A and B are shown apart, each in its own frame.
Chain A
């Protein structure tokens, strides 16, 4: 069975799939595409238990960010950036916390309660929780 698991992993990587990850304290197991978009566009700012959502992102130029933005959020990266700037400069929200690279993303996710971010599918990321995306 191990070869089958490896095959699945390779197939995911070829497709360039991304996963949504959260800090283990986050009281959510699944999200719809619309809910995911609401979080990354800073509309929804609190988890169901009232705790703050802390959005982590990679730099706009990062290939993984571009892929996540287009495929999962169905937004072009410039649209996200424009929205975040609008919130930040009109006082209605904070720009998401930007991290330097994928390893920094995983590290910060693991130590930040309420944090949500993304990573390449298939990358091992304990103790983070992977969010099931409903379609």
Chain B
């Protein structure tokens, strides 16, 4: 075998044939067991469930150094957490219209991912998130399909300067809301149509030069409209969600700390009656600590805090407004979660966690809460998941 042939064989064996136009693809399969007795977080009976399935395949085709097409299909089964089934997670055209060592600018067109929060762009990819179930104050599963991305346009500008790296993200779009998603958000029995009229987000991140810290500021404004079905005793409604969030992350050799704090205004007009008008100013956030015992073993713990109304932190007014029909614990949800992950191989990871919860503010449905299923103020969640990537 001559030298050239040996070299060619080595390169082929390393799977490293690179062409001008190329398709790269990868995926993941994750299956787990989950149980949340005393709540409807996963299922209505609180029994041990295998409704913890995540399968995804994505690809990115490079048309030229500046133009790329990317897409991902996922199948999710999370029980009551979000609608079960396959969906087109993203499919967009990526135009890197300016790219040099100091400035990078990309325009994304199509179904684009939410790049604004720390874990929003890959919240369904088991290997990329810190816990199986993310802190619900920010990553509310009932809102997953609405928050994960949108059909529209996004812009990313990045600047490397003397003060460090700056990243600005902006996106504008809408999301088709299925009837299943609508029932998760509004109530088990709703049959009308929910439409997200617009979802507008912007974020700015700053990382000082070679610093272990970075900080971000995020704003969001989303407007929903509800048209009731013919036989429904409900009124047409408008919902507006405005969120301001601040996040901070530190990445050390063994320790990684992250926090995202948010304030969220939810305006509801109509729905229960044409005159109904309510404004809630909720607050929430989490503090997450991860510790890498070895390159393969990781421990984590987070503390999550949510109140739907900052002036009614224990839900007493909320309960009083419904004549006591709605227990006060639907006004808040506080969680302590701890767990570990271990990389069994470079492609296989096992993760397990426990959550101790107080309150039901982040249990679906949101507008018409399920008081029969979510009948406990204190409830736990246990989850174990095996993840495979390819």
Select one of B7, B72, B253 contacting A111, CB under 8 A: B7
Q: Is B275 close to A, CB under 8 A?
A: no
Is A86's CB under 8 angstroms from B7's CB?
no
Interface pairs (12), CB distance under 8 Å: A34-B210, A44-B104, A52-B62, A52-B65, A59-B346, A60-B295, A89-B26, A91-B60, A91-B72, A92-B113, A95-B26, A103-B10
Residue tally, chain B, CB below 8 Å to A? 49
Q: Is B197 close to A, CB under 8 A?
A: no
Interface centre among A31, A79, A90, A94 (most CB of B within 10 A): A90
Interface residues of A in 72-99 (CB under 8 A from B): 74, 76-79, 82, 85-86, 88-95, 97, 99
Complexed CA–CA distance, A44 and B24 (Å):
19
Which A residues are in CB contact (< 8 Å) with B322?
A: none
Is A85's CB under 8 angstroms from B65's CB?
no
Which B residues are in CB contact (< 8 Å) with A97?
A: 16, 18
Known: A35-B160, A91-B60. 9 other contacts (CB 8 A): A31-B101, A43-B158, A44-B104, A46-B66, A50-B66, A92-B113, A100-B14, A107-B11, A111-B7
Q: Is A126 close to B, CB under 8 A?
A: no
Interface residues of B in 180-221 (CB under 8 A from A): 209-210
Q: Is B92 close to A, CB under 8 A?
A: yes
Q: Is B328 close to A, CB under 8 A?
A: no
Which A residues are in CB contact (< 8 Å) with B10?
A: 103-104, 107
Which B residues are in CB contact (< 8 Å) with A100?
A: 13-14
Is A86's CB under 8 angstroms from B128's CB?
yes
* Given known A85-B127, A111-B7, contact A61–B295 (CB-CB < 8 A): yes
Complexed CA–CA distance, A51 and B346 (Å):
32
Determine how close the nearest CB of chain B comes to the CB of A28; give it in whole angstroms.
Answer: 9
Q: Is A112 close to B, CB under 8 A?
A: yes
Is A45's CB under 8 angstroms from B96's CB?
yes
Which A residues are in CB contact (< 8 Å) with B125?
A: 85, 89
Q: Is B351 close to A, CB under 8 A?
A: no
Complexed CA–CA distance, A33 and B209 (Å):
10
